[in-house]
Amino acid sequence: MADASVWEIAPTGPLRGDVRVGGAKNAVTKLLVASLLADAPSTILNAPSLGDVDITASMLRSLGAGVCVEPVPGDAGSTITVDPVTVSDGRIPVSYSGRNRVPILLVGPLLHRLGEAFVPLVGGDRIGTRPLDFHIDALRRFGAEVELTPVGLEAKASRLEGTHIRLSFPSVGATESVLLTAARAEGRTTLENAAIEPEVVELALFLQRMGARIEMQPDRVFVIEGVQSLGGAHQRLGGDRIEAMSYLVAGLATGGRVRVRGCSQDRLVTAISTLQRMGANFEIFDDGIAAEAERLRPAAVQTSTHPGFMTDWQPPLVVLFTQVPGMSVVHETVFEDRLGYVEALRAMGAEVELFEQCLVGQACRFQQSGWQHSALVRGVTALQGADMVMPDVRGAFAYVIAAAAGQGRSTLRGVHHLERGYDRPLEKFSELGLSITPS
């Protein structure tokens, strides 16, 4: 992973070639956390090389866990082994405050191991409020004593008991927190209105391999029968569907053809159908998916929880809309402040208007919130190179696509955001023909 914080990008025409995507970012850190629940080491295969993995591994080591990351030659990712037996400290150092959103997920496993936990304030991308209320309420329902302090969250529990929880919104983080806590709680836990994203299911499968008794029922319901102990497990991560979609869009936005490998078709069904409606042509193989288009059509897209159009696919899609003739619309329903990256695209010449109204699809919970959560995009726009600061993980990738599709050189700062969420992006973009000079 490159250490450079600035990229100079010179457009080189259509991006073409093959990209092997890494293991899912949104799953790997959760499996690392789940490893702390076991009484023996666990191994995660096909782990991507990215900043969030490094941060999470460092956090686990600070607790006393053994964490070994072994790169695998070629494109097979890394193998990570976590030994939880030596965990002796339930306090995550305050220095990890704001680094990512993993600390809150550690509370349940640490309570099971040590009976107490402290985690610093969580971080992550500034794309809207992601309150801890769901997590805190769930932990208290399990019987934990929880106090939120100015620097973090203190929790303790002599025992955790199964409970009934219904989420007001199918939050991915809250669902993961409940699964991690319920796996070893005494008795049955029923979780209603749960998130069912592939990465959530991946965590549930990993816990099941460890010996957890987890049942997934219709209508977003998980039923977990707590067990006294869990063993270690081996699991290979599925491909990152966000990375796969983003590279497919990079090819389309530049008039090229990109084939992604390492991510199964079932993880991209909604992305594929959306791009097909826009006029993209796909070749789908057992080992890859390729996309290209002679002419694209505008579209109206509403983001949603799985199996809807993923919110993390939205920033690359908006850049693609700037290269599509006519007016396209996107309605963001998951995070109220996800469109903050649009300002830099406007500086490049993109014609994007933001609205507080729900412009397409059903009215969402942000309808009268005052947040600008819908975008109207007019294309085709001749984007001009610009000096931009990457705002977050997904906005960072969108800026790279915009720079590749634009005219003239662009300077992208804050590359650490990109490297926190994507596996070897400098190497992969370079292999597709994009000229990048890191500094």
Catalytic residue of the set 125, 312, 392, 423: 125
Distance CA 424, CA 203 (A): 24
125: annotated active-site residue: yes
Which residues are designated catalytic? 125
